[in-house]
Structure 1
């Protein structure tokens, strides 16, 4: 699944949002109405099974964490496809040479507390050496309470992690902070597990050059982080 495609022009955001909601309601939304900078995981049996387990009220905490980590790894792996690579040649144990790829240096992940904190384990399982920063924003006042970034974040590609995109205010505040710190919009990849159509439309309307990866567009389980940390 390619991350960078020919851009579609969505000048009337309300029309896109209306189509999102109409198609989501029928659970048969068409992918051609989704802007190209939003990527939803393919609805394979594995993905749907994981989503089902995470939505089931009878799922125990230990099972929830196990399957949530699996689904988050799938979303993160898709997000890694959006980062820059370079060609390398390595020598195999048999003495042959193999032409492959390697990450370009300068990537980092930013966890949007508390929703993004539950994605840190999966992120480290996918990228052991990637630096992880933090943003804490109060939901009521929409005020940045704390942030910790790599000092050269303006030169990095950033994976912004928020497991749930139910509303967009906090995420938009975080995106504005990253841009104020010098991060290019095109260098930001927003990673989420569950997203509402409304939040996606509002984010894309304000930040048209970021890319968004999610496993599902529709109803979101707002207790996701609480369930993951066992505080529900």
Structure 2
């Protein structure tokens, strides 16, 4: 989609040489799983740090060891993370690395490979999530269906739309357009925007199945294990 205009709600990471090199590694089909995870983690850390920049702040005054007052800032309100399972779980450690003892909820959504429509299986969220700012975590924004449904779960738990920030590594224009049309108050922080979706609704050039490359199992294996109470 060469004529795609990036909405104002979307913040793309600064396209540095470092980021481009990291993206090149994780996109290569022959990158070993261990390397894929390591370099994807570096991008995730950049995304989390940029996401934190979009949280509201208040002035804060502290006294330094020299006895002089310093005027700084503090985040306004508390935050939590919510990962869209399974691929979103890969982003949890990056959030924990930046935010000590942060609470993290989970939403399990499966995409029907024939219809490309999302199906909600499970949601476990912090009890006080309505009072927090939420960083929604999912590496890929393809059609936008899973992310849109995940946000609806948050709204059903009384999270304000403008208190949600959606973090992802790679987006498709189709997914961005659908998401922003549904939730115009939510900011999206993404690493790169790709050309679009193929006939199977996968992002191209993309990275393939992010979850499979991280976990090393198929989606069916994951869902069946979850149903049986098995951790994979």
Q: TM-score range by the shorter chain?
A: 0.7 to 0.9
Residues 43-68 of structure 1: per-residue CA shift (max 9 Å, x gap): 11011011001111232222211111
- Contact 1:113–1:136 (CA<8 Å) still a contact in 2? yes
Q: Secondary structure at the match of 1:34?
A: coil
Residue 147 (structure 1) aligned with residue 123 (structure 2) = yes
Q: CA deviation at 1:96?
A: 2.5
**1:79 aligned residue:** 51
Give the alignment's Cα RMSD to 1 decimal: 1.6
- Contact 2:57–2:74 (CA<8 Å) still a contact in 1? yes
- Contact 1:158–1:188 (CA<8 Å) still a contact in 2? yes
**2:209 aligned residue:** 223
Q: Secondary structure at the match of 1:192?
A: strand
- Contact 2:141–2:171 (CA<8 Å) still a contact in 1? yes
Once residues 177 and 132 of structure 2 are traced to their aligned partners in structure 1, the CA distance between those partners, rounded to angstroms, is 25
Residues 26-45 of structure 1: per-residue CA shift (max 9 Å, x gap): xxx7xxx3111011112110
- Contact 2:44–2:91 (CA<8 Å) still a contact in 1? yes
Which of the pair is proportionally richer in strand? 2
Residues 68-108 of structure 1: per-residue CA shift (max 9 Å, x gap): 11100101111111112221122223332221112233211
Once residues 63 and 157 of structure 1 are traced to their aligned partners in structure 2, the CA distance between those partners, rounded to angstroms, is 32
| Structure 2 gap segments, 5+ residues each | 195-203, 219-232
Once residues 116 and 143 of structure 1 are traced to their aligned partners in structure 2, the CA distance between those partners, rounded to angstroms, is 16
> Please, which moves more after superposition, 90-99 or 164-173?
90-99
- Contact 1:38–1:211 (CA<8 Å) still a contact in 2? yes
**1:100 aligned residue:** 72
**1:38 aligned residue:** 10
**2:39 aligned residue:** 67
TM-score for the superposition, normalised by structure 2:
0.83
**1:48 aligned residue:** 20
**Which one of the candidate residues 135, 140, 150 is aligned to 1:174?**
150
**1:11 aligned residue:** none
| Structure 1 gap segments, 5+ residues each | 1-20, 24-28
- Contact 1:166–1:222 (CA<8 Å) still a contact in 2? no
Once residues 88 and 178 of structure 1 are traced to their aligned partners in structure 2, the CA distance between those partners, rounded to angstroms, is 30
- Contact 1:192–1:214 (CA<8 Å) still a contact in 2? yes
- Contact 2:133–2:163 (CA<8 Å) still a contact in 1? yes
